[in-house]
Amino acid sequence: MSEAASARSRHSSPAAVPLGPLEPMLRAWLPRQRWFAGKGRAITRLRLVSAVELLPPGSTPGLLHLLVGVDCADGTADCYQLLLGVRPAPLPPGLAPALIGRAEHGPYAGHAVYEGLGDPRLAALLLERLRAPGSHGPLRFDRDPDAPIPADPAPRPLSGEQTNSSLIYGDSHILKVFRRVWPGTNPDLELPRALASAGCTRVPAPVAWYEAELPAGPSGGPGGGRRTAEPLTLGVLQPYLRGSEDGWQLALRRLAAGADFTAEAHALGRATAEVHSALASALPTVALGPAQAARLAAGMTARLAATVREVPALQPFEAGLRGAFDALAASRGTGVPAQRIHGDLHLGQTLRTADGSWALIDFEGEPARPLADRRRPEPAVRDIAGMLRSFDYAARSHRPFAPAWADACRAAFCEGYARTTGRDPREDPVLLRAYETDKAVYEARYESRHRPDWLHVPMAAIRRLAERERPARRMPHPSPPPPGSAAPHPHPKPPRRPLA
């Protein structure tokens, strides 16, 4: 057994435990993973935060659950969840793409270490652990006792762009394994559970989940020097919506066919409103006051200033954009309710189910924001702004640019929302403009970093939003079509990387 595996009994001082022979292979492998947030940064240290054998020592294959702290030269420190398979080398051909490395010395000498989620036997074992609640070292597995989980469904990994890793079991359930983890309940467990108990059926209800409970200590925190007493959410099992299609793909198909999408956008507005209403009834809400409005505006202004330094194309619009945030601060937040929201809503976070209704998924919020920020109540308009930007992205990914399509969808979405809540989001133009501007600034930074060919998409919105006097109900005006016809994800993500 490696130092890492034998560290199971040493959770009280995890920060001091080295990764032993696994360290060099993980240092090489981690930066290549799609979900690794520290790309381009030099890793200075890997720290073992927790290690648990999920199968009896000596089993073939073995399954090693690790929480690994990654310290980078720029001072950032993140914690990642790894599920490593261990088998005598060489791996069977079917598992070869999952290989991480071969241990040359130590207790795993002669063994191949690989991405455990790529091994159906290990994926099945993880589901077994979720079916039978209990603790394994610091890992605690829980389930809803009333929700059935089939005994032996065939697992398959979900392909496609992802921030995390998901496994589909027999087309009946999907397990999301969080990769970058923090102390504190992940909103992707917290909010769907709250929605389920409020009777909202727009969101698949978690049926099982697992967490890590690590001891608090001066240096034991997964992020480095912080204390951690709150559990870290590691995975959530939900019903799989078989035969569903995500809203982004559906919207692009409609655009390609020259077809209308307003009925769907309207229904999506209603679904979003239902989710917002259920969240507001299930979880605490606050009324924004001058201090909160000023804090929100200051955060947006700071993000703008940082982005202008990085993206010079924004410079001519900075004053106009800042005007949107100044207006938010000047509004003094009067009467605006803040509540728990989705936090990263766009067409790619919606699923149209086989029966034609809409479901919302992925309540993690923007993974780049600190967890405490993501769990703070905010005006629901933030989600609406995200969706309005997404219609714009879809329309601009089509050639020729379809401005009328976007305008109609944006209006239909707001009308659907108003139909359910009784209030049209466009009646809060100051708030809506501020959130749309903040989102467009975020997009501009993303596109300039990763897909400069797409910078024109947020820039078109930036030009519109920078206009000082903007009538409340005005929708975006046309701008030149994009140079390419490839469809971007509505919520920009880095290009996909190959597994191991």
398 CB contacts (<8 Å, ≥6 apart)? 252, 255, 256, 405, 485, 487
Q: Which residues, 6+ apart, have CB-to-CB distance to 337 below 8 Å?
A: 280, 285, 286, 287, 288, 379, 380
Give yes or no for a contact between 393 and 486, defined as CB atoms under 8 angstroms apart. no
Which of 115, 119, 362, 436 forms a contact with Mg ion (CB under 5 A)?
A: 362
For Mg ion, the closer of residues 175 and 431 by Cβ is 175
Residue 50 binds ligand ADP (CB under 6 A) = no
420 binds ligand ADP (CB under 6 A): no
Contact 251, 261 (CB under 8 A): yes
**Partner whose footprint covers residue 162, from ligand ADP, Mg ion, none (CB < 5 to 8 Å by kind):** ligand ADP
101 versus 490: smaller Cβ distance to Mg ion:
490
What b/e sequence results for 123-141 when a residue is b if at least 16 CB atoms lie within 10 Å of its CB, and e otherwise?
bbbbbebbbeeeeebbbbb
Residue 71 is inside which H or E element, if any?
strand 62-72
Residue 387 CB, shortest distance to ligand ADP, in Å, is 15
With CB atoms as reference, the residue minimizing the distance to Mg ion is 362
Instruction: Check residue 390 for interaction with ligand ADP (CB under 6 A).
Output: no
Contact 154/170 with Cβ under 8 angstroms?
Answer: yes
Residues 116, 104: Cα–Cα separation, whole Å: 19
- Collapsing DSSP to helix, strand or coil, 322 comes out as helix
Q: Which pair of tokens denotes residue 105? A: 């010395």
Question: 478 near 403, Cβ under 8 Å?
Answer: yes
**Closer by beta carbon to Mg ion, 43 or else 205:** 205
For residues 180-239, which are near Mg ion according to CB under 5 A? Answer: none
Question: From the CB of 358, what's the least distance to Mg ion, in Å?
Answer: 15
What mask of x and - would describe binding to ligand ADP in positions 144 to 163, judged by CB under 6 A? --------------x---xx
Contact 207, 144 (CB under 8 A): yes
By the rule CB under 6 A, 361 interacts with ligand ADP: yes
Residues 6+ apart with CB under 8 A from 338: 285, 286, 287, 288, 292, 377, 378, 379
Minimum distance of ligand ADP from residue 493's CB (angstroms): 8
* CA–CA dist 386, 371 (Å, integer): 19
How far apart are CB 431 and ligand ADP at their closest, in Å? 26
Between 338 and 347, CB nearer to ligand ADP? 347
Q: Determine the interface stretch with ligand ADP among 124-132, 239-247, 332-340, 437-445 (rule: CB under 6 A).
A: 239-247
Stretch that binds Mg ion, among 230-238, 294-302, 355-363, 380-388 (CB under 5 A): 355-363
- The rounded distance, in Å, linking the Cα atoms of 245 and 248 is 8
C-alpha count within 13 angstroms, C-beta hemisphere, residue 230: 12
246 is a contact residue toward ligand ADP (CB under 6 A): yes
In whole angstroms, how close is the CB of 396 to Mg ion at the nearest point? 21
Q: Which residues contact 218 (CB under 8 A, 6 or more apart)?
A: 225, 227
DSSP string, 376-399: S-B-THHHHHHHHHHHHHHHHTSS
Report 85-144 residues binding Mg ion (CB under 5 A): none
Stretch binding Mg ion (CB under 5 A), from 65-73, 261-269, 360-368, 454-462: 360-368
List the single partner that 244 binds among ligand ADP, Mg ion, none, CB under 5 to 8 Å by kind.
Answer: ligand ADP
Q: Which is nearer to Mg ion, 230 or 246 (CB)?
A: 246
Stretch that binds Mg ion, among 47-55, 200-208, 215-223, 354-362 (CB under 5 A): 354-362
Coil, strand or helix at 350: strand
Residue 343: CB minimum distance to Mg ion, A: 11
Q: Binding marks (x or -) toward Mg ion, 303..342, rule CB under 5 A?
A: ----------------------------------------
Residues that bind ligand ADP (CB under 6 A): 158, 162-164, 166, 174, 176, 204, 238, 240-241, 244, 246, 348-349, 351, 361-362, 364
